[in-house]
């Protein structure tokens, strides 16, 4: 789905495939693949700012831990619903290429 070297260190890379949108992160060299759309209202997390190991949704500000997908901060406006944890995909790396095992 992408090369390890294309993912910025302590940053993210958004990838779209026929199967969906994914957010790949590399935190201290560790590659993690999460679903790429916010669970609240499908905000594109590839445009989210990385803050203290979390990505902040650019739409309503929910934050997700980039290693686990867990919500670390809820939607900024409580009356419009809540975010749920992102799905995390198991990953394999072969010859510098990242693959997910569904
Ligand atoms: S769409 Fe992401 S917090 Fe609302």
CATH number of the domain at 53, please: 2.102.10.10
pLDDT at site 6: 97
CA of 41 to the centre of ligand 1 (A): 5
The total number of structural domains in the chain stands at: 1
Per-residue pLDDT of the chain (102 residues; tens, 9 = 90+): 999 999 999 999 999 998 899 999 999 999 999 999 999 999 999 999 999 999 999 999 999 999 999 999 999 888 899 999 999 999 999 999 999 986
| Structure-block tokens of residue 83 | 């975010």
Owning domain of residue 46:
2-100
pLDDT at site 101: 83
Distances (CA, A) of 15 to 42, 45, 75: 15, 11, 24
Distances (CA, A) of 38 to 29, 46, 94, 96: 24, 10, 28, 27
pLDDT at site 102: 61
Closest atom, ligand 1, to C-alpha of 57 = 2
CA of 61 to the centre of ligand 1 (A): 6
């Amino acid at each position: 789905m992408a090369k390890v070297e294309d993912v910025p260190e302590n940053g993210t890379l958004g990838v779209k495939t026929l199967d969906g949108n994914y957010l790949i992160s590399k935190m201290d060299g560790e590659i993690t693949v999460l679903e790429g759309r916010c669970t609240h209202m499908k905000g594109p997390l590839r445009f989210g700012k990385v803050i203290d190991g979390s990505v902040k949704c650019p739409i309503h500000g929910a934050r997700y831990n980039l290693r686990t997908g867990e919500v670390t901060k809820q939607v900024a406006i409580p009356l419009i619903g809540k975010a749920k944890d992102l799905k995390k995909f198991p990953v394999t790396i072969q010859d510098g290429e990242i693959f997910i095992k569904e």
